[in-house]
Amino acid sequence: MTNEIITHENKVFENVNHSGKILRNREFYKCTFVMCDFTKSDLRGNDFEDCTFQDCNFLMTEIEGVGFRSAAFIGCKILGIDFTRCNKLMFSFRFENCIMDYCTFFGTKLKKTHFIKCSLKEVDFAETDLSSSIFTNTDLMGAQFSNTVLEKADFRSSTNFSIDPESNKLKKAKFSAFQLEGLLYKYQLDIV
């Protein structure tokens, strides 16, 4: 069995079913994955740089040691993924129209990450650095923010968040006046 690295550059992978499969020793550079299924697949140790994933499934995918640098996810289902297990040296994302419920980002650095029209229900952002990140039309129902750096983050069009200003860093974070309930929830105020 060889450990030779296989490199893919500027390739398009369409309708590939990796469900339940092991994919190792691969580097993908500027590749596009369209309607690919990575459900319960093992991607440990692979690197994806400047890659786009469109309408792909990542359900219970093993991503320990995976490098995602400048990865864009568009219209993907990314459920229950533990992003804390990724390679932190290659770690930058953009998410658009993705369902990302029950994912974990605990303690990661996600500065300037864009979450556009995403579902982030029950996502763990505790101790995460989300400085200057943007949450555009994103549902944050049950998302956990504790000791989270949210400085300059933009929540103006996000919904259903509960963020305690006393246990998170919010300097210059942006909120709409209609979102005060999400910042004052713990006081059980009747805001009308």
Regions in the chain scoring below 70 on pLDDT: 1-2, 184-192
How high is the pLDDT of residue 35?
98
Query: 80-101, pLDDT tens digit by residue?
Result: 999 999 998 878 999 999 999 9
Around Cβ 18, how many Cβ atoms within 10 Å? 20
How high is the pLDDT of residue 40?
95
Is the CB of residue 85 less than 8 Å from the CB of residue 105?
no
Buried (b) or exposed (e) across 96-107, using 16+ Cβ within 10 A? bebbbbbbbbbe
Is the CB of residue 23 less than 8 Å from the CB of residue 3?
no
How high is the pLDDT of residue 1?
46
How high is the pLDDT of residue 97?
98
For 182, the token pair is 């999400």
Domains plus CATH for the chain?
1-99 (2.160.20.80)
